[in-house]
Structure 1
């Protein structure tokens, strides 16, 4: 219980530092900014999981509480430092290159990473030391919810590589077939109107016919679901959403239409946002590659970038297959996935590096398999916590957060798969 309480105190301090720093710098909280905060929470929880998993291993090895604590922090440091620093590189490049709300993501993530490293490595360690010194903590009993596995993951590497390539090719094909329909108002420009029928819900085709009857130009009408509610998402040319709203309310008076969201974006602004977002993502990947190549070696750096591309491409492909549109909110979600994917992969690579440097017996394949199995408990725990958070966002966050949460859900599942296989 005490380690859990300490982790919760550290997490609370992390959030106080994050929101205090954002207020001090005058940052405005946007949906991509919320994405940065969620990634920060995930990495803060992951850092504590890494330390506690190491602590459990050291206690099982028969060390005293003080010696086990010192060893667990020392051994977890490199994984926490490398995974956070690679994400910080991406955040700083985004802050330098990106524009609009994506910059809000970078600000929240940069502050959050610094705060989470401070609380995980310093605050929790000092709290443990004080608890031991005051006699509040004399022993730690940690339940092993997920037993250590001994599965031959790399024995299935040929099958999983072929499967991943096929899914990536299919994802690219689906995205290419949809063309401009992949992009929302943020990138194409125009109006986006989200309506909820609070009373009698008219048929989708009737809504489409009603909009077409007033000749506003090309209009896309979709029904999106969030929890038990259904929303009409209507995309029309610029400065036409007001006419559409009035006409629908007059045509379907029994529907009780309520506006959930309305926005207008110019086409020039949209294209600039798309360009800056793509450049920032590519530069971030290049920065991660260079850092991992220096800290580990070239093969590890290539592995991180391949895993990152794998996760992003498949997530976007599934998103396109579901008929959803890319927006700045989704860009924030994709950046979150990128950070989560890198963090996951670095943790596994750090254990592999430790095994090789420590002279562990066996071939490189055997050492890699052993390392993946040793980090499986942490992978499942961290992924499970993140999935619970995003599932709640998807079910109860309304239409604005539904696509964002869905993207994170897909990305966490795919990222967990790529970090293992």
Structure 2
């Protein structure tokens, strides 16, 4: 009997990590949902408008989809404060690291096609990753270092799970930032002239921060996957995404190079001064030109380069929730989506939650003190965008602004609290 109860528990728990079989397309709700307390939901308007009126946040787009129906989709505040241009639901945002999930899905399209394996060494596609080394000793005084040979090669799966040993330029560890800066490794945000494949091969020749598979560390790994996609598909990353994801899903506002016809919908990006006042982001901030979406590029960062709208990204997430299909188009196999939403680590990457192939996944421990249910998957972007999908509630949520750093970033968590308190 104890064994039977254990089996039932395991099977029940696994359900939360699987996408729904019901195929949903996102649409405006024809009638109010009976599963929503709209009186409580209205508190979201009061909350966000209060932050806008205090000058704590320039503007927000919030989108909530439940059971395929839009129950909230609003713009609050300003897309541009100086001109008093209102934030609209179709405003376009620099989604930065939200690019990662899309590119992770793209490399898994190649997996579905039998063109790559998760356990392929990256050097099979990028020879710069052959004969890799790991950092041994580092001298901060002159940034010299010694290395040791790696015990095993970095694999495609290591890249997908951020366990490759690669770090990040600018926002990574001090040691690796210095090593990458010396070789001018692109951070991914902005405009870069070099060739993506060449730069990622150059990255592969630099030492790893740790042995592959031993740690989780946020990194340029998905940029490397972008280069792998270009090599395997024999096309550039933008064209591959457009043909295999954006066009089939009708994601018309998701771009590396934002068309001139859409430029007036691009939101202004803001930061804070020393007094925590919201001010426009300027080019000298991290050396990143805020107008990079409008500048023609040939270097497509798989980890940070896209701009998009809330509704476009919600469609991508609905495809994942549907088990890889949307509007009759099968983008990913059902099995691959299950793999994406399954824990791939032997440890909790942030102390409590899991990490799959492209997403953070809320664990039982993680769901104990936050509204999202176990099995919810999420991530966000550097400039203040965030998303999550909750399969148990059949709900997708986008909360998008363009402000970093943000001293009042509790807004998003309060929004989440009100949203879940509105569910019947």
TM-score under structure 1 normalisation?
Answer: 0.26
Q: TM-score, normalised by structure 2?
A: 0.26
Hey, which of these two has a bigger chunk of strand by percent? 2
- Greater CA radius of gyration, 1 or 2? 1
Higher helix content, 1 or 2: 1
